[in-house]
Structures are given as C-alpha cells and as structure tokens.
Amino acid sequence: MKIATWNVNSIRTRLDHVLQWLDANPVDVLCLQETKVIDADFPRSAIEALGYQIYTSGQKSYNGVALLSRITLETVNAGFAPVVGESVVAFDAQKRVISGICQDLCIVNLYVPNGSEVGSEKYQYKLEWLAILQNYLKTLLSQHPHVLVCGDFNIAPDDRDIHNPAGREMHIMASAAERQALQQSILNLGFVDAFRQFNSEGGQFTWWDYRAAAFPRNMGWRIDHHYLSPNLSPQAKSCVIDKTPRTWDKPSDHTPVIVEL
C-alpha cells in the first residue's frame, strides 16, 4: 500500500500537476494540503475519473486538506473535535485536519500552522495547535491498531533537514520550541519518522522557496513527513521524496513524499 503527502498550494491551480502525477504514480491514498478551496468548489471530476474517491475539508483562500483514495475510506473525520471533543472546536475553524480509516489503518492528514515569525501570535497558535494534536493522536492510538500521520508539518526535525542550519535557532520551522512540540506531540507517543528509517543523509528536502532560485540550488527544507505508529513502522518498505513535480512549470513549492507499507 502506497500513501503520499503533497502540499499543492491551491488544488485549482495545481490540478493538472496532480492528475499528471497520479497518472504516473497511482498511489492508494494521496493526502493534499493547502487546497485553498471550499468543498463545493473542489475540482472533483477529473480526479474521480482516475479512480479516486475524494474527501475534503476546505475553506476559502487559505489552508484546506483533502484525501484522495482508490479504496473507500470509513469514518472520515474533519478537524480535532470529532476525536478530542467540543472543547477544541475553536481550533477547527482553520481547516487543517482530516482523517480516514482504511481496514485497520487510521490515516491522518495534517496541515500544521506555519507560525509566521518566532514569538508572533501565529507562532503561539502553532504551539497551542500542536499541544491539541498530542491529545488527538493519543486518542487515535487508543482506538486503532495502526496510525499513519502525514502532511506538511512546517517544522524541520533536525539540522540535516535544513540547507543551511547556521543561525536557524530563531527561524520559523526550526526554533527549539517548535522542535520540542514536534517531539512531545508526535515522537514521544512512539511515532517514527518514516523517511529516516531509510535515509540518514542531509540535503533531502521537500520544500524550496519560490524565491532566490532556491530549488536549482537545493536550498530547501524537509518539512513534509510521514509518521508511523510503533507497531506500523516495522511494516514500512520505503519512503521517498519525488522531486519531479517541483521541476514542472508553475509548480507547488512543495513536492510529494511517498511511503510504502
């Protein structure tokens, strides 16, 4: 079973890229982030024609996540509240979470807040959001034999995941508090970074800034990840970054990451 994650930076702008990529890479489930469209306007028909069912949680202009699946998913939930409870419903105003069940596997697709600048209000929101994520994942781990959490985490786990780590301690996506939140909310629950099961090298990135010719210079960050629950990680066969779509005309600034179980 192959599952991919891809921040497409607008599904309507990137529809042709998604179709082209799925045609060449018929993964079982594709998790999209930053769809930037309300559910009613999600471009469904061409994706469905490739054999995918579509589950969306979107909003106007910003954020938005979707699951594209060749297998029918059960119990698709949008947001934290269906799992954690109504006390966290305020954090579901921004559409950043969708999950679905495929046999004994719970697949979670996340678009973690960017955080803007270290110390800003949005940074605080990011840290609070990650604290709620911890409760959300604890609950899912208690309910399902296997859990896969993937998406755009907007955090580089360590300095191998940044093209130039010098002076990055106060940089968004690399600050100590963000890395600690990633540790506490995900890794301390036993989740394993699937990519690092197979590749310990630096210079392996999933996002490159549109500016300053960052992609041809490989000045990127590894911020898109797959995390596997403890009893799922031994089942991973591979985890690879596909840089191909980042070379296409008018690309997303992110590129897909595929895990095979």
Partner DNA sequence: ATGGCATCTAACAGATGA
Per CB under 7 A, residues contacting DNA are: 7, 9-10, 12-13, 34, 36, 60-62, 113-114, 116-117, 122, 152, 154, 172-173, 207, 209-212, 221, 223, 250, 253
Which is closer to DNA, CB of 12 or CB of 237?
12
Helix (H, G, I), strand (E, B), or coil: what is residue 20? helix
Q: 75 exposed, middle or buried (CB, 10 Å; 0-12, 13-18, 19+)?
A: exposed
Catalytic residue among 55, 123, 136, 152: 152
Helix (H, G, I), strand (E, B), or coil: what is residue 197? helix
Distance CA 17, CA 9 (A): 11
Q: 90 exposed, middle or buried (CB, 10 Å; 0-12, 13-18, 19+)?
A: exposed
User: In the chain, what is the straight-line distance between the N-terminal and C-terminal CA atoms, in Å?
Assistant: 5
Closest approach, Cβ 161 to DNA, in A, equals: 11
55 is catalytic: no
Closest approach, Cβ 37 to DNA, in A, equals: 7
Which is closer to DNA, CB of 100 or CB of 115?
115
Catalytic residue among 111, 123, 136, 227: 111
Closest approach, Cβ 112 to DNA, in A, equals: 8
Which is closer to DNA, CB of 13 or CB of 87?
13
Closest approach, Cβ 211 to DNA, in A, equals: 4
Closest CA to 9 of 226, 208, 183, 217: 208
Instruction: Encode 168-185: b = buried (16+ Cβ within 10 Å), e = exposed.
Output: beebbbbbeebbebbeeb
Which is closer to DNA, CB of 81 or CB of 172?
172
- Point out the residues that are catalytic: 111, 152
